[in-house]
Amino acid sequence: MKYHALDTPALLVDRDRLEANLHNMAELTRCHGKMLRPHAKTHKTPEIAQMQLAAGAVGLTVAKLGEAEVFAEAGCTDIFIANQIVGEQKLERLVRLARQCTLRVGVDSLEVAVPLSEAARRAGVRVGVRLEVDTGLHRAGVRTKEEAIALAHALAKLPNLELDGIFTYEGHLYQANSDQERAIAIARMSETLADLRESLVRQGFAISVTSVGSTPGARFTAPVPGLDELRCGVYVFNDRMQVARGAPKESCALTVLTTVISVRPDGRVIVDAGTKALASDKPFADQTMGEVLEDTSLRFVAASEEHGHLQAEGGTRLRVGDKVRIVPNHACTCVNLHERMYVVKGEEVEDVWEIRARGKFL
Ligand SMILES: Cc1ncc(COP(=O)(O)O)c(C=O)c1O
């Protein structure tokens, strides 16, 4: 079947581009001797996780317990939830999962760690923990070296937890405007993490892993000695946000196929993909919602829930019923809206993958 024959809106993934992206990141990390633990919140799809593991990934990263459950069920044996897990219902599920696979989870306070330790002790399981450090994003994570060391000492006294590493997410890198700014931010982050790790090791803690994240950071973090593990996520598909940060346009593997449902006399073309098919991210100054792959002179100027507005400069040849593909601004939020993705090689649909962890935000 040709993808043009699909009903729309439909999420398409270009197999060749996906495979090239997987290969390139696997090579980047391998040639610098780094472990790759890709963030699966981007694709939420077991088939892609299997491809990442087959290409040498040491395990998966997820943000949510529900995602971890899906990937464990699909056979993934080593999962890091790079997030704080809080609340009785979740802790019950977490310790159950810890019997099924090697599980690590983030901690940045005793308020998070104590109930986790109690749940693990009650269930008779050991849970790996990694201490989250805020290196500039100002989201979760301990903010000072003193706070980190005090927390490590307190964790050592808690039963059934095993501290094996420190981690950060350098999401503030998304605000950097040039490679020079990115390099400076990474150098600062690396120094902070190296200094903390050295202090922890000196005080007797077995910190075997320093783990960092982010796709735009990968080419800067991969060569840094002392950073052991990269948790890039969005690299599998790339998107307009990554292109704005140096990824080649031809590496964008994900598109939303959409149908023209109305053509207005003023050259405005209305398609059947709005924010419920593409997500609402508008990170660009011009407020565009995506890019039309077939014709970049069409600007995706606005969207409501079920409608996308394309503006044609100087008229358009598009007619009602025509189909075009849209490159989303942000692949992760876009994928989460769809039940399945169609795997395309050239024009041919080769596979249909269920996005099994979509909507798993609990
Ligand atoms: C904790 C954590 N690690 C890794 C990543 C992956 O980063 P990216 O989306 O830039 O690939 C994210 C993304 O949000 C994250 O929150």
Long-range contacts at 296-303 (CB < 8 A, ≥ 24 apart): 298/269, 298/324, 300/326, 303/273, 303/274, 303/275, 303/278
Domain 3-9+246-354, CATH number (from 3.40.50.720, 2.60.220.30, 3.30.70.100, 2.40.37.20): 2.40.37.20
CA 325 – ligand 1 centroid, Å: 26
- CA of residue 178 relative to chain centroid, distance: 22
pLDDT at 314: 79
Residues of the chain with CATH 2.40.37.20: 3-9+246-354
**Residue stretches of the chain with pLDDT short of 50:** none
Residue nearest to atom 11 of ligand 1 (CA): 233
pLDDT at 361: 97
pLDDT at 209: 98
pLDDT at 51: 98
* Residue 256 and residue 293 in contact, taking contact as beta carbons nearer than 8 Å: no
* Residue 131 and residue 89 in contact, taking contact as beta carbons nearer than 8 Å: no
pLDDT at 260: 98
pLDDT tens-digit readout, 285-343 = 999 999 999 988 899 999 999 999 999 887 889 999 999 999 999 999 999 999 999 99
CA 312 – ligand 1 centroid, Å: 35
* Residue 158 and residue 114 in contact, taking contact as beta carbons nearer than 8 Å: yes
d(CA 59, CA 49): 9
3-state secondary structure of 210: strand
The structure tokens listed for 217 are: 């950071």
pLDDT at 315: 81
pLDDT at 266: 87
DSSP string, 1-59: -BGGGS-SSEEEEEHHHHHHHHHHHHHHHHHTT-EE--BTTTT--HHHHHHHHHTT---
- List ligand 1's pocket residues with C-beta within 6 A: 39, 61, 82, 169, 171, 213-215, 231-235
pLDDT at 168: 98
d(CA 294, CA 66): 37
Topology adopted by domain 15-237: TIM Barrel (3.20.20)
